[in-house]
Amino acid sequence: MSCAHGHCRPQPIPKAVNLFVKVTDCCNARCAFCSNGDRHNNIVEFNHTKLWEVVDELRNKEVIINRINLTGGEPSVYPEIVNQILEVATLEQYHNIHLHLNTNGLLPASQVMMRYPRWNSISISVHHYNQDKLSEIYGVPISKSALAFDNIDLERVNASCNLIRDYIDSTSEVEKMMKFAISLGLPRIGFVSLMKVNKYCKERYVDFDEIDFTSIPHLYFTESRNRGVDCKCSNYLYNHDGRILEVYMRNYANPNYCESSLMYDGQFLRQGFHDDNIIY
């Protein structure tokens, strides 16, 4: 139910979900902070028919699909799977569904995929402004052309930067990263604290309280949302040389807080991001 305001009674909130579609566990990068860091072989076939049966059933039940997020691993490792999803998503009956791509943007196939006009939005991972440091974080050499974004509509693109000790871990480093995002022509960037899922994340964890955002010139707070122990995020606008950057901060998130997140892994529909949560 919605909140009550004055004499207005609470109203039912429409049922809504985010549907994550895991194309693969595989990834061309070797990020030590990733929960998929040791998975480099795709051994499960992707059931495309079942995916769209899930979408149709949700819509028949009048459940709003906020967006379909294609994710991994790295989706561009298996572009043929993504292309089949895009082919169906382009059909008229699915035009009103927001389609989102999560990618690290490292492979040429990723750049090709990002140019496809069907995407409503795209998230890319950019964890440092220095090419060598970026290669260290990813565990693979990064091509100089990886962040060129040739013929890609950057208005659709969101950059995501993890706060990592010895990389982006201070107020000055955050400011450099924002300036770098503007230099790339990106309209928005999100800073995310690591989830403590392994030893690397625990040792490299940077608390948002260590970053003095109020001291960064021309960074203006707009809003904050706090769900207690489950999650907290804040939004800002950054102005540099007359260019505006939207800035998002995810202070923390509980990975078990996933009631409205569904995940289709190519075989099963799951609630949340765990192994014992199959619902179809």
Q: Does residue 203 surpass a pLDDT of 90?
A: yes
Predicted structure pTM score: 0.89
**β-strand pairing of 231-240 with 219-226:** antiparallel
Question: pLDDT tens across 120-150, in order?
Answer: 999 999 999 999 999 999 998 888 788 888 8
Question: pLDDT tens across 48-91, in order?
Answer: 999 999 999 999 999 999 999 999 889 999 999 999 999 999 99
Question: pLDDT tens across 148-162, in order?
Answer: 888 999 999 999 999
Amino acid letter for position 8: C
Angle between helices 79-89 and 48-60 (to 10 degrees): 40
Res 49: pLDDT: 97
